[in-house]
């Protein structure tokens, strides 16, 4: 990135402002700049340069003082919430937000774990890269079973945009022709281990409605010209992605969308700029700019633009909108419906089943594959719902052998113990559920009446909890996964409810939802505010339901589609 790309003070009125630089912000910037719009990204965190700032990349566990465990005092002071994330350790902590600086409150009796990554690239540096299209059933579920509002779009509206982003991102996987899991444009898949292949074959006979496939993930297995031109290379199967990947093998803002946007000469970035609120012009009914507070000096400044894409993450975008008040919008900008902040959802990962596998002592594998097994949702339409709950779940996991990292915690010492660590251990398998959460009005976020953060911005107050529907779904997931393992001949089957609060899936969505009716939604079918035409929200806040699959691919497709619409509206003179 050129030094001229980064700005601080600016009196210019940009063609477009993008707030946030994660997966959706990166895509918005790429699409806008490539369409000729002079675009400013506003990022609340520090600059992270591709390759240069991946300070722990390639560093093996034994070179850390505590074998990647973070010092307890540091965790207690700064990362008490962030430490719950699967990706948090001493080699990745620099990409996580400091809980001390980013406080929020929760309603008494509820929990919510808000995982933060406030830097250029956001959580695109940390995400787990699992990439699935939502299905026609996902877009129709709210209307068919009466939970939540009807999505204003259908699968066919988004299908060409899925294909558009997939070609740029690079998604590995297999075509399966499943109605509940539409195929993507795929690069070659990662290979299953031998026990996994046999498990898939057994389930094809014993449980044909529960196919076991390889997961679909945003990793380049066969880079094409569009990837190579950006300096991206083939995945090396290190599975240390959250440290940053200099190969650019997994999709991130740094490896893909930012370089593409920078090539146009239309990209500008204001880092360390915490958005306090949007500047609303009552006479034109437009957002005319963004008010920010310097991350370090706390000095206030303003930026101006003709259209605004809000991509600050579900809760981040909602906090900004709630804090942007005016005479016309006393409860938050674009909130004439009153639903801004309501219908918060996350995926439920609380059911885990593990088992031991015998008979494969001569089988092993190479590398650390970033893909897993995946069992798509089989409760994908009302006629297939379980009698005790609505919607459904998927299962994901893998079969692998114990290695030195797991066996190192066993009792033992001396030469025999060291020799044991040199050899692979027993085979085991695990499957974890990913369940849908129903949209419920009382799962919501508001601004705290008195507590503020270090920048003087009101903290979010979160009220969110699992309902009986989600709890019953997880109990069913235990029974389904354990039954599959029994039929496969596995033993020592262990079932466990994990008890994790909402937030830890890091798939939060829904607080500025799309809809057909401005009276019960914030955005229209193109992610455009019903109330303020030049304001677009394309991150997870726009969702009407969670669906079952990971949401990031849909974030990307929606963002590209929304930019295409916005640019056409501008050029036609309607915006």
pLDDT by residue (tens digit) across 247-282?
Answer: 999 999 999 999 999 999 999 999 999 999 999 999
Residue entry with tokens 């990209």: 267
What is the per-residue pLDDT across 432-467, written as a single tens digit (0 to 9) for each?
999 999 999 999 999 999 999 999 999 999 999 999
All structural domains of the chain: 3-131+251-347+507-571 (3.50.50.60)
Q: How far apart, in whole angstroms, are the C-alpha atoms of residue 450 and residue 93?
A: 30
Give the pLDDT confidence score for residue 367 in this predicted structure.
Answer: 86
Q: Per-residue pLDDT for 420 more than 90?
A: no
Q: Per-residue pLDDT for 405 more than 90?
A: no
Confidence of residue 166 (pLDDT cuts 50, 70, 90): very high
What's the token pair of residue 484? Answer: 């599959």
Q: Could you tell me which residues come within 8 angstroms of residue 175 by beta carbon, excluding any fewer than 6 positions away?
A: 183, 186
- DSSP assignments along 431-484, one per residue: EEEEE-----TTSEEEEEEEEE-TTSPEEEEEE----HHHHHHHHHHHHHHHHH
Query: What is the rounded average pLDDT for all residues in the chain?
Result: 96
Kindly give the pairing relationship between strand 373-375 and strand 213-214.
antiparallel
Give the pLDDT confidence score for residue 460 in this predicted structure.
Answer: 98
Give the pLDDT confidence score for residue 82 in this predicted structure.
Answer: 98
**Residues 515 and 358 sit within 8 Å (Cβ to Cβ):** no
Q: How far apart, in whole angstroms, are the C-alpha atoms of residue 284 and residue 574?
A: 13
- Strand-pairing partners, residue 287, are 280
- Strand-pairing partners, residue 268, are 40
What's the token pair of residue 435? Answer: 């369940």
What is the per-residue pLDDT across 458-496, written as a single tens digit (0 to 9) for each?
999 999 999 999 999 999 999 999 999 999 999 999 999
Q: Closest Cα to residue 392, out of 544, 179, 183, 180?
A: 180
Q: Per-residue pLDDT for 561 more than 70?
A: yes
What is the per-residue pLDDT across 227-241, written as a single tens digit (0 to 9) for each?
999 999 999 999 899
Q: Per-residue pLDDT averaged across 207-223, rounded? A: 98
Cα Rg of the chain, angstroms: 23
What's the token pair of residue 134? Answer: 């939502």
Q: Per-residue pLDDT for 421 more than 80?
A: no
Extended strands (E) in 265-392: 267-270, 273-281, 286-294, 300-310, 351-357, 373-375
Cα-Cα end-to-end distance for the chain: 31
What is the per-residue pLDDT across 175-207, written as a single tens digit (0 to 9) for each?
999 999 999 999 999 999 999 999 999 999 999
Q: How far apart, in whole angstroms, are the C-alpha atoms of residue 143 and residue 522?
A: 18
Give the pLDDT confidence score for residue 383 in this predicted structure.
Answer: 97
Q: How far apart, in whole angstroms, are the C-alpha atoms of residue 457 and residue 320?
A: 9
Q: What percent of the chain has pLDDT over 70?
A: 99
What is the per-residue pLDDT across 309-345, written as a single tens digit (0 to 9) for each?
999 999 999 999 999 999 999 999 999 999 999 999 9
Q: Per-residue pLDDT averaged across 12-16, rounded? A: 98
| Helices 155-169, 552-571: crossing angle, 10 deg rounding | 100
How many CB atoms neighbour CB 98 within 10 A? 13
> For the purposes of burial, counting CB atoms within 10 Å of the CB of 356, is it exposed (0-12), middle (13-18) or buried (19 or more)?
middle
Helix (H) or strand (E) holding 236: none
Give the pLDDT confidence score for residue 408 in this predicted structure.
Answer: 60
Confidence of residue 2 (pLDDT cuts 50, 70, 90): confident
Sheet containing 105-106: order of strands: 105-106, 458-463, 444-452
CA dihedral 159, 165, 169, 170 (to 10 degrees): 40
Q: Per-residue pLDDT for 8 more than 70?
A: yes
Q: Per-residue pLDDT averaged across 50-59, rounded? A: 97
Give the pLDDT confidence score for residue 512 in this predicted structure.
Answer: 98
Residue entry with tokens 């705290």: 448
- SS3 string of 70-96? CCHHHHHHHCCCHHHCCCCCCCCHHHC
Give the pLDDT confidence score for residue 302 in this predicted structure.
Answer: 98
Q: Per-residue pLDDT for 406 more than 70?
A: no
Q: What are the C-alpha distances in Å from 5 to residues 113, 254, 263?
A: 34, 14, 11
Q: Per-residue pLDDT for 410 more than 80?
A: no
Give the pLDDT confidence score for residue 418 in this predicted structure.
Answer: 74
- Strand-pairing partners, residue 348, are 435
Enter the pTM of the model.
0.97
Residue entry with tokens 């830097």: 119
Decide: helix, strand or coil at residue 137: helix
């Amino acid at each position: 990135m050129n030094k001229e790309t980064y700005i601080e003070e600016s009196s210019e009125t940009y063609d477009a402002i993008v707030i946030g630089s994660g997966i959706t912000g990166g895509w918005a910037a790429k699409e806008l700049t490539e369409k000729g719009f002079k675009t400013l990204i506003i990022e609340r965190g520090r600059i992270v340069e591709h390759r240069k700032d991946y300070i722990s990349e390639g560093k093996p566990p034994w070179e850390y003082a505590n074998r990647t465990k973070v010092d307890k005092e540091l965790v207690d002071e700064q990362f008490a919430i962030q430490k719950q994330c699967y990706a948090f350790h001493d080699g990745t902590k620099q990409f996580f937000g400091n809980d001390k600086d980013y406080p929020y409150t929760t309603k008494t009796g509820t929990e919510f774990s808000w995982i933060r990554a406030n830097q250029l690239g956001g959580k695109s540096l940390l995400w787990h890269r699992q990439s699935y299209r939502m299905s026609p059933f996902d877009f129709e579920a709210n209307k068919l079973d009466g939970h939540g509002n009807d999505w204003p779009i259908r699968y066919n509206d988004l299908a060409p945009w899925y294909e558009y982003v997939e070609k740029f991102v690079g998604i590995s996987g297999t075509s399966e022709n499943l109605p509940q899991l539409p195929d993507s444009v795929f690069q070659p898949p990662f290979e299953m281990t031998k026990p996994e292949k046999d498990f898939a074959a057994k389930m094809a006979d014993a449980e044909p409605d529960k196919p076991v496939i390889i997961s679909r993930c945003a990793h380049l297995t066969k880079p094409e010209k569009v990837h190579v031109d950006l300096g991206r290379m083939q995945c090396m199967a290190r599975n240390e992605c959250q440290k940053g990947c200099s190969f650019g093998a997994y999709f991130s803002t740094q490896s893909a969308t930012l370089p593409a946007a920078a090539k146009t000469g239309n990209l500008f970035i204001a880092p360390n700029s915490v958005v306090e609120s949007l500047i609303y012009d009552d006479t034109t009914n437009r957002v005319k700019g963004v008010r920010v507070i310097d991350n370090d000096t706390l000095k206030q400044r303003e930026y101006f633009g003709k259209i605004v894409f809000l991509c600050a993450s579900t809760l981040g975008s909602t906090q900004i909108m709630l804090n942007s008040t005016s005479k016309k919008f006393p409860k938050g900008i674009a909130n004439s419906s009153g639903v801004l902040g309501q219908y918060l959802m996350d995926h439920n990962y609380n059911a885990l089943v593990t088992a031991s596998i015998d008979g494969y002592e001569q089988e092993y594998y190479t590398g650390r594959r970033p893909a897993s097994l995946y069992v798509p949702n089989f409760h994908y339409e009302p006629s297939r719902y379980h009698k005790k709950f609505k919607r459904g779940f998927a299962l994901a996991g893998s079969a692998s052998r114990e290695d030195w990292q797991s066996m190192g915690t066993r009792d033992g010492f001396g030469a025999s113990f060291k020799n044991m660590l040199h050899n692979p251990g027993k085979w085991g398998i695990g499957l974890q559920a990913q369940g849908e959460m129903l949209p419920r009005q009382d799962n919501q976020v508001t601004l705290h009446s008195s507590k503020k953060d270090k920048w003087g911005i009101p903290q979010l107050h979160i009220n969110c909890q699992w309902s009986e529907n989600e709890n019953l779904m997880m109990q069913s997931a235990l029974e389904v996964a354990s039954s599959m393992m029994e039929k496969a001949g596995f033993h020592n089957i262990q079932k466990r409810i994990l008890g994790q609060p909402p937030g830890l899936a890091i798939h939060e969505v829904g607080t500025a939802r799309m809809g057909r009716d401005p009276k019960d939604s914030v955005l229209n079918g193109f992610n455009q505010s019903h109330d303020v035409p030049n304001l677009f929200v394309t991150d997870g806040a726009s969702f009407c339901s969670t669906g079952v699959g990971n949401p990031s691919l849909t974030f990307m497709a929606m963002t590209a589609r929304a930019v295409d619409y916005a640019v056409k509206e501008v050029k036609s003179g309607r915006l």
